[in-house]
Structure 1
């Protein structure tokens, strides 16, 4: 890798590193400067430290998982085989290339289209895009159910880590709210001079200011993502509705609030609040609100996919239709 590439990669970690340093400072300021130095009531000190550490562990755990969980890429069945790639590259006629890609798409469970109604194909990754999959130019890969690329975790948020990202936002909000609520009384005491100044005063004052600032900012972001989950949309789909064979439909994946939540967090409610894998499916297949066998007579290919891929009965609602045209993503 060139020096410029190394510099870009290092610079990309700057926001995440800043957030990590801020979290470390907040830990020191709260535990040492507030609880160990400022507080005098032993019972209050133990209660604050106990609750703080529970929230802090959940916050760091979710942040770690959001940052270091790799974005999941499409299965090899969506990639061009060596023979198809050779045929595609040797075919000089655009019509012939489109026919090769159309033959590939007929074997795959894809339902969404481009705005012009064409099959979604990524020329950079050489694959037919699964439903809700998009190419991330920063990660240089196609990401299953891509939501957005987040600079604060230096990672692409998609199917593999969207639950972790939501929990990261939730526990960051809870972390800031707890700090602000417990620090406020001592902020006033330092401000009015009831407590003597010194190093602790500086840390306590800034703890409140920073926690309130982040709390207000993240409230809107977390609220927005809660709305997205309730509607079963990604950030990209909220800005541009997915296109189906019958046209755009912003509610195409909306199954109702309860089912939408379970699709992200899973069936086991005891796992909802922990950053562990529990989301439904594998990121390639998504049930659709308006799609049924009665309205889609082209489901014969689904049986062929299941025989080839070994898809279990849990995915019987994930339908597809063959492609009639192809548009290349460049």
Structure 2
């Protein structure tokens, strides 16, 4: 058993190191690492410019609590990020058609003319990956992967924790931003590195707010980005916002907050709506009279 565990750890490590060979992935990881480093050194333990204050904070339990909390958020960002990268939603990399599908459902599965892979509902062909993706949301160059049925939860958690980390960083950078926007400087003017880091992180926090809310909205109506852009009817709505969230995160539990597989999530081969006819009728009515 120990041999299997060590083999699994080594295999995951090799895949992570392989992902870092992608320039976009490496850039994101370096930005996250530098944000953590600057948060710790510039706002708490700046022994170069503020040695007395840093020595005092070194003995403060509140300071260590803040640093540990921010470190936890950064760890969750990286965990969710690499789960998004390493989890494939490609049809060819996932199990074949499940046995629980009826003959009628099996017959309804079409074949993609571009890659000859099975193409169930909500599946789209990715021109970058050159294969079909189960419940494809979009292809994201920053994760060097398609976001789909198997890794959408991890992607949303990555965006959410990234927003949280940037927001916490921006909150601590208030004195720097205040000096930058104000007419008078404080007794200890911010270094150019502090200014650049604070501005960039505040900008990321601002942009991630809209991006995160957009994807939470998509989950609430059970749509993907492609379906939303195509203005297709919400035929996969489960009847409630909670049920739609459980379609992505699984049954409501602590697992929602952690980038680990959830039980009860659709495999990507079957999607049904409790009220398909109602949703379709309302959509057609909206299209006709609006």
TM range (shorter): 0.7 to 0.9
User: Quick one: distance in 2 between partners of 1:140 and 1:203?
Assistant: 41
The answer on whether the counterparts of 1:179 and 1:207 sit within 8 Å (CA) in structure 2 is: no
CA RMSD between the two structures: 2.9
If the length of structure 2 is used for normalisation, what is the TM-score? 0.74
Structure 1 residue matching 2:88: 3-state secondary structure? coil
Task: Give unmatched runs, 5+ long, in structure 1.
Answer: 1-9, 79-104, 113-118, 243-249, 293-330
Matched, 1:230 2:214: no
If the length of structure 1 is used for normalisation, what is the TM-score? 0.66
What whole-Å deviation, never above 9, does each CA across 1:20-66 have from its counterpart, x for those lacking one?
Answer: 22112212211123321145442253232122111111111111111
Aligned to 2:105: 109
User: Quick one: distance in 1 between partners of 2:104 and 2:117?
Assistant: 11
Among 235, 242, 248, the alignment partner of 1:252 is 235
Matched, 1:261 2:245: yes
Give 1:154 shift: 1.0
Give 1:139 shift: 1.1
Give 1:19 shift: 1.7
User: Quick one: distance in 2 between partners of 1:67 and 1:36?
Assistant: 33
Structure 1 residue matching 2:85: 3-state secondary structure? helix
Equivalences, count: 242
Aligned to 1:51: 69
Matched, 1:285 2:275: no
User: Quick one: distance in 1 between partners of 2:216 and 2:224?
Assistant: 11
Among 194, 201, 215, the alignment partner of 2:191 is 201
Q: Greater Rg, structure 1 or structure 2?
A: 1
What whole-Å deviation, never above 9, does each CA across 1:79-115 have from its counterpart, x for those lacking one?
Answer: xxxxxxxxxxxxxxxxxxxxxxxxxx99452698xxx
Structure 2 residue matching 1:131: 3-state secondary structure? coil
Task: Give unmatched runs, 5+ long, in structure 2.
Answer: 1-18, 278-290
Deviates further, 45-54 or 57-66: 45-54
Give 1:207 shift: 2.3
Matched, 1:158 2:154: no
User: Quick one: distance in 2 between partners of 1:218 and 1:162?
Assistant: 16
Aligned to 1:29: 38
